Each structure stands twice: as C-alpha cells, then as structure tokens.
Structure 1
Amino acid sequence: MNPQKGTDSRAFRWGFAALLAALATIGPFSIDTYLPAFAGIEKSLGTTLVGMQQTLSAYLFAFGLMFLFHGALSDSFGRRPVILVALVVFTLGSVGAALAGSIHALVFWRVIQGLSVGAGMVVGRAMIRDLFEAEDAQRLMSLVTLFFGLAPAIAPIVGGLLFESFGWRSIFWFLAIVGVLLVAMSIRFLPETLAEDARQPFHPKALLAGYNEVGMSPRFIWLSLATGFNFNALFLYILSAPVFLGEHLKLGPQEYAWLFIPSILGIMTGSQLSGFAAGKLQPNQTVKRAYAFMAIAAAGNLVANLLAPPSLPWSIVPIFFYGIGTAMAMPSISLTTLDLFPTRRGMAASLQGFVSGMVNTLTAGVISLAVSHNPVWLAMGMMIMMLMGLASWTLYLRSARKHAEPPTVIRMD
C-alpha cells in the first residue's frame, strides 16, 4: 500500500515512529522498571525469589499467548481500536498491581498487564507495512527501534529511583500514569492505517484458515525463531540483571544503568545501521552483517568469562556489540516475515510475536534461573541462543531458495 496523503513528510514519520515506539515500549518497560525492586517486593510481600520470578514468567507467558490474537483482531476490526482497548486494560492492570496485597494478587495483575502490552508492538509493525513500501518501511522500523531503545535504558533508572524514594508500589502507579498518557496520545494522534475493504472477516473458519496458512509455513517458523533467539541471547542478561549486576558485579539498584545503557546504545546503533542499509543492501546482506556482530560479541563474551571473573567495564562491552547485531537484523527479518503474507500482516505479526514470546517465557522461567548463578553459564547461554538464531536464519534461506525453485517437470514421452 502506498503512503497515504501526508504520510511522506518528515514530521509525520518522526511523530508516527515515536508514538509506535512508545506503544511498543510498554512491554519491556513493564519488565525493566520493577527489576531493581525485586528484593524490596520480595520482602514486602513475604515471598521468595522463586515467587518473584513467577511475576515475571507469568507476565511473559500472557504476553506471548496474547500475541496470537492482537494482530488477527486488528486485521478484522482495524489497527487503532485494538491498540486503544489494550492500553486501557494495561492501565487497569498497572493500578491492580500497585494495590496488590499478596504475591498471588501481584502475579494475577501482572498477567493482566501481559495480556495487553503486546498490542502496540504487534499492530505497530503491521501499521508500518500498511503505509510504506519495503525501503521506507525498513527505515521507519529502524527509527522505531531507535526510539524503542531509549526506554529500557531509562526504565531501570526510573524504577530504581522510584523504589528508593517512594517504595515499590510507586513503580506500578508510574506505569498506570504512562498508560493514561498513551491512551490520550493515541486518541489524538494515532491514525487508522487499514482500509475497510482490506479487512478480514472475523469468523472462526476464516481465522483458523489464516492461522493455518501462516503458522504452517516453514519459512515463517524459521524467521520467527531467528527473531526470538537473536533477541533472547541479549534478553537473558536483562532477565538475569538482579543476579548478574547485584551478585556478580556487586552493583546496587541505582547502578543498573551499567547494563542497560550500553545494551540500549548498542540497539540504537544497530537500528541506525539498519536504516542506513535500507535501499543500499538487500535484507539478506544486512542480516548477514548483523550476525557477524552477534557472533563476535557472543564468542568474545564467552572467552572473557572463561579467562577472568566478571568486572566492569569488560563484562558489559560484548553486550553492547551484541545489541548492535540484534537491532541491525530485526527490521529486515520482521519485514521479510510480514511480506510472506501481504493480506494477513496483522496475523503474521501476531504469530511471529507469539513464537518469540514463547522463547521469552522459556528464557525467563527456565534458562535464566538455570544459568544466572554462574557468569560462564550466562555467557554460554548467550552463545547457544545466538547459534540457534543463526541456524534458524540459515534454514529460512534454504527454505526460501527451495520455494523459489520452479517445479520439476517430468516428461511422459
């Protein structure tokens, strides 16, 4: 679809990218702001570290599960209504979490948050592709990633300050205020990008046919796994921040910026490189260069941890370079995924998010708990996930080449 009237202006693109980034940001923001308060919440609610981990893994499970539906709903009812409803639910979930009197109540309200926060991320990708062709879409998605990268750098700092000054509940009140502001901004500025005649029927039979078409595609599966593993190699360190920073590097809650700022600077740098590459390199070439960054960073991180105990700044440098690689690859892989299904972009974005979200849940609920106590194991976890992402991308390329080959004609003389 060609850009609508007025969408080709620089002001629109920057404003649209900033708003989509803000909508996508509430997912990771809801994780990163409360990580510095883990110990305080544990003590306040009389729970354990395992109980606190459940507030994270339950959130991520709901986050990943609802990815199945955000995009499909937006294909039927439009992009804008789905985002607005999700923002209202997120705001209510944040208020509930702020008032939670037990760990069970907190887990419940975290689930409510998780069910809602993926809409901006999923539907936003489809909105970009609704309005822009391939090169412009990659530039805009890179710009969204650039803005998106600012939030996780700010979130743990904000969370640490709020926790130290006003207690852990203030973090969730802050998220509720963010939700209200995003509702107001979306009502005022967010356009509807899906035309009425491009919408899919909201009927079980049509939905199942769509899920079957998208979900059973090998190329789609490999691309989604590549996205999930690439990101989770970095996300593993974010999830393990309370142990990695607090125990291994001996840093306090207000010093979490040591991890988050370099990793986000890496993401911002990678997104800029992706934007520069649009129109100059084929997406496959951009991803190839991105994997070079990721492979060197993961290998360097593992070697460094095998040779010496964790220390600043050396334990953070590989994470910065890995962030460059994963952000450089993400726009190209995401757009390639959406372009597999031009009439079902919302559903494709949903299912891609679901696959990645399930990898997130596995990382939070199992892998982080299993490896965070040992810096070498953490580094090995990053390396293995990077290799799995690379393997998934390689399998996609093989599948794409096979799909492009003309069918063999057998002559019956």
Structure 2
Amino acid sequence: MAFAKPVWVPGQEKKIGFVLFLATLSGLSPFAMAIVVPSLPGLAHIFQLEYDSLQYAVSAYLLGIGLSQPVHGFLCDRYGRRPVLLFSLLLFVLASLGCVIVENWFLLVTMRFMQAIGVGVGTVTSRAIVTDVSSRQHAAQTLSYIAMAMGIGPIIAPVLGGYLDVTFGWQSSFLFSGVVGAVVLLFAWARLAETRPDAVRVTGGSFGQVLRQYLGLLRSPVFMGYTLVFGFCQGTFFAFLPVAPQVFETRFRIGAELFGVYWGILSFSYMLGAFFSGRLMRTFDLDATLFAGCSGLFVSTLILFLAALYGSVTFMVLLSTITVGMFFSGIASPLALTGSVSHNPEMAGAASGLSSSLGMGVGALFSILTGHLFDGTEGPMIRLMGMAVTGVMMALFMSRNRGAKAG
C-alpha cells in the first residue's frame, strides 16, 4: 500500500505536505503547553491547590523541553532522525494519556514533564531534517514558513482548550493532545524516511566524547552568535509577556476580552514577519535578511524606550511599537535558528537541540526578571526589552565571525 511506504525523502522537501508535516511537528510543543491554560483555575479547585502552585504545570513542561532538546539532538545525530522521532512521539502520546488518568497533582506534574520530554523532539528533528535535505538558502525559506505555521498553535490552543474544558472536562485537553500526537506519529511512521546523511554521526559514545561535541559548539562564535540572536529575540518578547495583562488592565484599562484581540494582533504580526522572511530569502541571502530583521526590531524597541524615557508612552505607542517589533522578530528568529544549524551541518541534530535549549533559557531569564522587577508600570518591562535588543545586535555581530566551525 502506498501509504505504508515512506515517501517524504530527500528531493521531496518542496512539497507542501512535507512542510505542513514539519510545521505540525514543530508546533505540537507550544500547542500542548497552551491548550491546558484555560483549565488551570479548575485544576486548582479539583486538586485543592493554592493558585500559585499551578505554575508547576507550566514550569515542569518548560523544564522538560529545555533539558530534553540537547539529548534529542545528540541521539538523532547518532541513531538517525526517524527512530528518535518515533520513540519520542510515542512517549508524548503515552504521557498525554497518563495526564488523563492520574488522580493527584504530583503525578499530573510528572506526566507533564514526560509530555515535554517526548514532544521536545519536534523542533529539533524538524530543523535537522530541513538542513539534511535542503541548501542553506532553501532551509531558511522552509523554516520561515514553518515558523509562520507554528504561530497558529498558540493562538487557537487556548480557545480550543477552553471549549474542551467547559464541554468535556479538564482531562479532554490532555486527551486531545494525545490524539494529535498519535496522528503525527502515524504519519511520521508511514511517510517519513530517514534523512540523516551518512556523514552526519557523532563519533564515539562516551560521555567525554559527547561533551567535547557540545563544548565545540559552545566555543564557536558563529553558533553562539546565531543562537543568542534567537535567544535575545525571545527575550524581547518574554520581557513583555508575563506582565502584559496587568499592564494593559491597570495602566490602560484594557480588559481581558480586548486583551485577547490585541494578543491576536501581536501573534499575527509575528506570523506575517515569518512569511516575509521566507519571501525575502528568495532574493537576499540569510545574513542580509537577518540583519534587516534585527535592525527593525532594534529601532522599534528604541522608539518605545525613548518614549518611556521622555514620559510619553500611550497605549497606541506601546501597541504599535511592540507589534512592529514582533513583525521583525518573526523575520529574524527562524533565520537565526537556521544559521545556528547550517554552519555545522555535520552536527545538525546536536546544534539544533543545543541552540533551541539555550535560546529558550535566555527567553526564560527575561521572563523571570520582568516578573521580579514589575512595579505595576510598564517601565521595568521596557528597560528589559531595551537590554534584550541590545543583546540581539551584539550577538548578530558575533555571528559574523567566520573563523572556524565547531568541533
């Protein structure tokens, strides 16, 4: 039967089905995180928790993603993309079902952690697969379109999660995630062939040899430059995200209903930037397009910073500058991720996993800082955004150091 034979192989990378599959695979992680958010207040009542204890349902998930991605990267270089992907997706499906049947909070948080370990494979393997089968230029285009499609997940997931929670109960969100994971697993098994080139393999198997591979990446200015561009782009966003509802409500009297509308505008702006990133790559090379994206993000945030410095931050100034910044972040982020992998194609999996993990860590740091420094006004948030875009430009120039590859 044709369906049972892997058909997405090198040479098929321009097919729309191939791109949609990889976009779904990459987007499964943020989707599974966001779909349960509407159920959190109900979980506090069901498990008799203080509301602040609910953060562990999110933080355990983020921890699992961050810890698992470098491991996934090493494994898919050593054993191949396909087996690591299939095994990890199976773990995600089983952990999602585990979330449905557990009866205490500790086990639910544990299953969330296991969910994240399994689904963390999506971003790593999709980027490695694109690098395997594409030139650097075409890989950047493909990953830009994947980033655009990924932006849909965090928008629709809370809406769908809220409907499922009200209609079928909190377990239904986890069950739905498991079903989606099972469908992706089925398609991966039936249609995705192994794409890892024979030359791509982490040599040796001792801890010391593996450690040297990662230290080589960490010592590469180009790899770290691209990775930190992505991380500080995320930092610009995460400096805003944790306190945005409070700022909108207390400072500008914007309620939850309208905040959802404005959040959709920001998400759409990022997706639009990712779309234009792919289009621009048809004419310009990766580094020129990345420079344009980073520069636009820097200028838009600088305008916001100067407005705050001179005391003239109105709602429209805040919304417009952040919306424009999200557009340029949408251009820059997928290109930075492409650069971190394509500079070392012989370690595509390891580079993909490590860059994703480090980038997430930088973004999480800004999230923690803005939550700690928040004083009820937009000031600390804007100052941290200014620090983040300064980091973006410094990392951009680091990425131009072509002295040596990692390893």
Using structure 1 for the length normalisation, give the TM-score: 0.85
Report what 1:407 is aligned to: none
Distance 2:142 2:28 in 1: 19
Residues 1:266 and 1:126: Cα distance change in structure 2 (over 3 Å): same
* Contact 1:157 1:257 survives alignment (8 Å): no
Residues 1:134 and 1:103: Cα distance change in structure 2 (over 3 Å): same
Query: Alpha-carbon deviations, 1:193-224, whole Å to 9, x = none?
Result: 11345433451254233222212223322321
Task: State the AA in 1 paired with 2:230.
Answer: T
Report what 2:129 is aligned to: 127
Offset at residue 75 of structure 1 (A): 0.6
SS of aligned partner of 1:333: helix
Query: Alpha-carbon deviations, 1:379-413, whole Å to 9, x = none?
Result: 3333322222222223333x34xx28xxxxxxxxx
Residues 1:340 and 1:386: Cα distance change in structure 2 (over 3 Å): same
Report what 1:382 is aligned to: 385
Of the candidates 144, 147, 165, which is equivalent to residue 167 of structure 2? Answer: 165
1:337 aligns with 2:340: yes
Residues 1:372 and 1:389: Cα distance change in structure 2 (over 3 Å): farther
Residues 1:159 and 1:267: Cα distance change in structure 2 (over 3 Å): same
Report what 1:48 is aligned to: 50
* Contact 1:61 1:361 survives alignment (8 Å): no
Distance 1:97 1:309 in 2: 44
Distance 2:352 2:265 in 1: 28
1:283 aligns with 2:283: no
* Contact 1:70 1:350 survives alignment (8 Å): yes
Report what 2:12 is aligned to: 7
Distance 2:275 2:121 in 1: 24
Number of residue pairs the alignment of both structures matches: 394
Residues 1:197 and 1:134: Cα distance change in structure 2 (over 3 Å): closer
Report what 1:293 is aligned to: 296
State the percentage of identical aligned residues: 24
* Contact 2:137 2:286 survives alignment (8 Å): no
SS of aligned partner of 1:344: helix
Report what 2:261 is aligned to: 258
Of the candidates 248, 270, 273, which is equivalent to residue 273 of structure 2? Answer: 270
Offset at residue 133 of structure 1 (A): 0.7
Residues 1:136 and 1:219: Cα distance change in structure 2 (over 3 Å): closer
Distance 2:392 2:152 in 1: 24
Offset at residue 85 of structure 1 (A): 1.3
Using structure 2 for the length normalisation, give the TM-score: 0.86
Query: Which consecutive residues of structure 1, in runs of 5 or more, have no partner in the other structure?
Result: 405-413
Report what 2:73 is aligned to: 71
* Contact 2:238 2:364 survives alignment (8 Å): no
- Name the Cα RMSD after superposition: 2.9
Task: State the AA in 1 paired with 2:380.
Answer: W
Offset at residue 337 of structure 1 (A): 1.5
Task: State the AA in 1 paired with 2:284.
Answer: L
Judge which range, 215-224 or 35-44, deviates more.
Answer: 35-44
* Contact 1:156 1:256 survives alignment (8 Å): no
Paired residues for 1:306-345 under 5 Å:
315-345=318-348
Paired residues for 1:4-403 under 5 Å:
6-7=11-12, 10=14, 12=15, 14-196=16-198, 198-201=200-203, 203-204=205-206, 205-240=208-243, 243=246, 251-252=255-256, 257-302=260-305, 315-365=318-368, 367-368=370-371, 370-371=373-374, 373-397=376-400, 399-400=401-402, 403=403
Report what 1:410 is aligned to: none
SS of aligned partner of 1:144: helix
Distance 1:85 1:167 in 2: 29
SS of aligned partner of 2:346: coil
Query: Alpha-carbon deviations, 1:254-309, whole Å to 9, x = none?
Result: 76642442222112211122112214223222122112331233244456678578
* Contact 2:235 2:367 survives alignment (8 Å): no
* Contact 1:64 1:356 survives alignment (8 Å): no
Residues 1:372 and 1:88: Cα distance change in structure 2 (over 3 Å): farther
